[in-house]
Amino acid sequence: MKKLRTDLAALSFFVFGLVGSHMAHAQSKRGVTPEDYFSFKFISDPHISPDGKAVVYVLTIVNQKKNHRESSIWLVPIDSSLTPRRLSAEGFNSNSPRWSPDGKTLAVISTRSTESSATDPPKPQIYLLPMAVGGEAMPLTKLKNGVQSYQWSPEGSRIVLVSSSGPVDNVAPANRNSDVRHYSHIDYKFNDTGWFDDKRRHLWVVNVPAGDAKQITDGQDWNDTDPQWSPDGSRIAFVSDRTGKAFDDSRNTDVWVIPATGGALTKISDHPFEDESPRWSPDGKQVLFTGQTERHQFRKLYLADSAGGSASHLVVNDLDLIPDELRWSSPGFALFSSGIKGETHIFRADLSAHSFAAVTSGPRGIHAFDMNESSGEIVYLANDFEHLDDLYAANLDGSSEHQLTRLNAELWSQLELQPVERLPYKSSDGWAIEGFFVKPFGWQPGKKYPMILVIHGGPEGMFGVDWYHEFQVYAAKGYAVFFCNPRGSTGYGEKFERGEINNWGGMDYQDILSGVDAALKRYPWVDQNNLGVTGGSYGGYMTNWIVSHTNRFKAAVTLRSISNFISDDGTRDGPYGHEDYFRSIIFDDFDQYWDASPLKYAHSVHTPTLILHSDNDYRVPLEQGEQWFRALQHYGVPSEMVIFPRENHNLTRTGEPQHLVESLKWQLYWFERYLNGDAAAKPPDAP
């Protein structure tokens, strides 16, 4: 009996020791902060070596002191036998690594200072890195306007690339007689690139290693993109809209084929809308591409004779997904990625059976894949709600998966990341909607917590299994988070996505509020009288719409948001406007556009609102935020506006790191002030 008591005491000590150790470990972890962004490591663009033994990828880190991002090229054995090692030189940004066909050389795009940099800022050029002997990368190209994308020829003696050229290249700045911008087409600016000049993207072929380059396409009325070598290296397929209306409202890109030395073009696609992503069959006789036979339609997979002269034909039936990252696999098969029901996966299409099936599975987001048919391997990036992207390898059928990188493992070990729960529900008219829910950090039963509703952009976006820094930051500050995919979102079929047409502020609004109701019912500890709402782009529009149609929310933060469709339609980038979402173009139906504009209902707003906008946003111009701010001020709504200099529509994705982090801090300030009722909360710019 004495021994039994002794053993029980020892067991009790062991168990409670483990519990205590676990509790101490949990308590030592902390919630996610906006500043954690400065520590994140981002991986992209993986490519397998021709022998299937190694993978190169791009690693991007944030230099907080210099307020910029730094990208470098790394290599890791596909069997994980060695730790990853850096290939590119320090002090330069390097991207787009591509193996030569024999695996002896790695090409990269890098922007480096040259002797002419004092008068002409350095442009991204192709550099060649010898893999067998190592050493410094040597420049291959010296194109005036740099290199945007490229591909090795099958034999490895040439590279086809995309670069810009135009009449302005032939006139020295000192000899130009005007600095005005002169346009004759409706497409004259773009969010990421700003105001257009007369340069157009065209194809060049460069000899390796000599570096002499020959331009093989030209023209001022179109751009040429996505060049792809034929298997024998004699021809190049590419994408271009040569209707003469490429900078108006054509949307009629086609797949073309040109001899690698230049010459006559052959159009092999035959649809009146967007034909893109040409991929050669292994024998070079056919080209697989994505195409649209109707406007607004999901892209389908088509095959065409590479010599032209015959109609293309549909090769996969009932494809109610949007194919991306198209790759030709073994003869008769193709791979592509697509979002599906809140996840992103790789799919394999059987072109002869006209069917497709998933290669990867599980609650995660998989993308940026590369494959090596001869070694039977595939690599891809994968993330989930609690992890940024890492690199994985598997067999072509998805089996024998293993992880190659753990880039942020040290940081994850310090953080208490909040899991995300799926919350499917029915909208007010019975449509099935998928929602997601995050509990606040340190949640305790019996306590009430505020909740923030987050709305995605698009509207053809999709909240799904992915890393969301801002959601973890909200949760760490004690907020529950709810987000969902209302009709108009991708990943749930064409009918669901098109449910947004002629219906902005209609059933999408009902879908979202039905989700809020579902969250309150599932989680009764959420304080229904303490709700916040936020979103960017379309999510900003819907934030504005919500607070102008209900007073359920105590605080709102609207980012890069539409307030007035009429002025936005006339000032945004691109030639399209919003007619895809309405029954007619704006000039034929002002009433419909005004009826869908939150500005019309600004007199009904009572929710304190913070407006975040960027001064170089050409997608949703700054005037949209200004109009909303003026209206709210006029009607006495507590409101503030913050304008981020030098930023565009992508502030919260690719903005200057300090601005990206500060944007999150502004959101926290507003919710602290109006959800938590802290009148003493200080804005991020307070001294």
Tell me the β-bridge partners of 279: 288
* pLDDT reported for residue 18: 38
- Those residues whose C-beta lies under 8 Å from the C-beta of residue 601, and which sit 6 or more positions away, are 545, 548, 549
428-674 matches 141-168+186-314 in CATH topology: no
pLDDT in tens, 488-506: 999 999 999 999 999 999 9
**AA identity, residue 298:** F
- CATH topology for 428-674 is Rossmann fold (3.40.50)
Residue 375 has which token pair?
């070694």
CA-CA-CA-CA dihedral for 255, 260, 265, 266, to nearest 10: -50
Q: What are the residue ranges in the chain where pLDDT is below 70?
A: 1-27, 114-119
Cα 159 to Cα 172: distance, rounded to the nearest angstrom: 29
Q: If you average pLDDT over every residue of the chain, what do you get? A: 93
* pLDDT reported for residue 16: 38
Tell me if residue 652 falls in helix, strand or coil: helix
* pLDDT reported for residue 24: 46
Residue with tokens 């979102």: 489
* pLDDT reported for residue 28: 86
Q: What's the CA angle centered on 634, arms 555 and 509, to 5 degrees?
A: 45
Give catalytic residues, as residue numbers: 537, 649
* pLDDT reported for residue 663: 99
Task: Please check whether residue 586 is in contact with residue 593, taking contact to mean a CB–CB distance below 8 angstroms.
Answer: yes
Q: Regarding beta strands 300-305 and 286-291, do their DSSP bridges make them parallel or antiparallel, or are they unpaired?
A: antiparallel
Q: Which of 461, 437, 470, 468 is nearest to 539 (CA)?
A: 461
Residue 193 main-chain phi, psi, to 5 deg: -105, -15
658: Cα separation from own chain's centroid: 20
4: Cα separation from own chain's centroid: 62
Cα 409 to Cα 143: distance, rounded to the nearest angstrom: 40
Cα 118 to Cα 54: distance, rounded to the nearest angstrom: 39
The per-residue b/e assignment along 343-376, b for 16 or more CB within 10 angstroms, e otherwise, is bbbbbbbebeeeebeebbeeebbbbbbbbbbebe
Q: Which of 203, 250, 187, 247 is nearest to 221 (CA)?
A: 247
* pLDDT reported for residue 119: 62
Residue 432 burial (C-beta neighbours within 10 Å; 0-12, 13-18, 19+): exposed
Residue 497 has which token pair?
């996505």
Cα 152 to Cα 161: distance, rounded to the nearest angstrom: 9
Q: What's the CA angle centered on 109, arms 144 and 265, to 5 degrees?
A: 65
Arch. (CATH architecture) of 141-168+186-314: 8 Propeller (2.140)
* pTM of the predicted structure, to 2 decimals: 0.93
Task: Please check whether residue 42 is in contact with residue 59, taking contact to mean a CB–CB distance below 8 angstroms.
Answer: yes
Cα 253 to Cα 230: distance, rounded to the nearest angstrom: 20
Tell me if residue 341 falls in helix, strand or coil: coil
Task: Please check whether residue 434 is in contact with residue 339, taking contact to mean a CB–CB distance below 8 angstroms.
Answer: no
DSSP letters for 565-577: HHHHHHHSSSS-T
Domain spans in the chain, listed from the N-terminal domain onward: 141-168+186-314, 428-674
* pLDDT reported for residue 1: 41
CA-CA-CA-CA dihedral for 181, 182, 185, 187, to nearest 10: 0
DSSP letters for 117-154: GGTS---EEEEEEETTT----EE----TT--SEEEE-T
